């Protein structure tokens, strides 16, 4: 099966997936909404490639376009992914190493 340029493998990964993740990771608490130009400066993709990836992410509910001029933000599907991750997280097991280190560092009286 032939791969096109958008899905060519880079170091064991799929380039289109890596690029899509870079777009999602570009958003932050300080940057919850960005224009295409702002995103392009961060992820360093051509405008046509960036728009194709944004369109795909939007079709899956991960990104939404809004406003005039157009801006992009993370969408509800990102929250669903986070909720799924949190529901599978064993908070006691995750906290145990931190508590053990804290317990060892406490000075004895």
Mean pLDDT computed over 18-25: 97
**Predicted pLDDT of residue 36:** 96
Residues 23-76 pLDDT 10s: 999 999 999 999 999 999 999 999 999 999 999 999 999 999 999 999 999 999
* Cα–Cα distance measured from residue 76 to residue 22, given in angstroms and rounded to the nearest whole number: 18
pLDDT of 93 > 90? The answer is no
CA angle 58, 21, 25 (to 5 degrees): 95
Q: How far apart are the first and last CA of the chain?
A: 68
Do the beta carbons of residue 56 and residue 25 sit within 8 Å? no
* Cα–Cα distance measured from residue 3 to residue 9, given in angstroms and rounded to the nearest whole number: 9
pTM of the model as a whole: 0.73
% of the chain exceeding 90 in pLDDT: 64
Give the torsion sign (CA, 20, 84, 27, 72): positive
Average pLDDT, the chain: 87
Number of domains in the chain: 1
**Predicted pLDDT of residue 101:** 76
The domain that contains 71 carries what CATH number? Answer: 1.10.10.10
Local structure of 43: helix, strand or coil: helix
* Cα–Cα distance measured from residue 109 to residue 52, given in angstroms and rounded to the nearest whole number: 63
Residue-range definition of the domain harbouring residue 45? 5-105
CA 81 to chain centre: 10
């Amino acid at each position: 099966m032939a791969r096109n340029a958008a899905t060519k493998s880079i170091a064991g990964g799929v380039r289109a997936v890596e690029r899509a993740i870079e777009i999602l990771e570009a958003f932050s608490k300080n940057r919850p909404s960005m224009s295409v130009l702002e995103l392009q400066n961060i992820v360093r993709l051509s405008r046509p490639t960036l728009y194709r990836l944004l369109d795909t992410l939007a079709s899956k509910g991960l990104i939404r376009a809004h406003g005039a001029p157009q801006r992009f933000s993370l969408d509800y599907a990102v929250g669903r992914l986070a909720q799924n991750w949190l529901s599978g997280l064993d908070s006691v097991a995750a906290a145990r190493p931190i508590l053990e280190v804290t317990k060892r560092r406490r000075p004895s009286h």
